[in-house]
Amino acid sequence: MLAAAQFLATLCGAIFAGAAIYVNLVEHPARMSCGPNIAATVWVPSYKRAAVMQASLAIVSFLAGIGAWLCGGGPWWLAGAVLIGLPVPFTLFVIKPTNDQLLVPGRDPASADTRVLLERWARLHAVRSVLGLAATLLYLGLILRD
């Protein structure tokens, strides 16, 4: 049971981190290079799809990390679980206000305000990427150590 929880925590954490980093390094800069009008237009459906995937991965990795800790994996599994779990409340309480502004019906996607919101969103999303990467590296280190 311990090995299964460790594997699931690490796998879901790695997929979460990879997706989050891809968004920050590739997808969002590509959107922004097309100008705020296209970036904002494309951001909406991308965000709606990615939110479900990333939230699910973070939650599964968090629960599996807790499971690994409870099965005797040690306190560092709990630390990894906390790291991968933090993007969920961070998104709900810190990023959501920006998301909500970007999702307002009738928002002018070509406005300077929209560009500022998209740039803020990218900086905030980078926190999610860092948390996911830190959790994944910790999980991998724990697996390799054993």
Q: What is the pLDDT of residues 109-129, one digit of tens each?
A: 999 999 999 999 999 999 999
Domain membership of residue 21 as a residue range = 2-145
Q: What is the pLDDT of residue 146?
A: 79
Strands (E), the chain: none
Element (H, E) at 98: helix 96-102
Count how many domains the chain has. 1
52 pLDDT more than 90:
yes
Q: What is the pLDDT of residue 124?
A: 98
Closest CA to 67 of 12, 10, 14, 6: 6
Specify the pTM: 0.95
Q: What torsion, rounded to 10 degrees, do the Cα atoms 74, 135, 14, 39 define?
A: 160
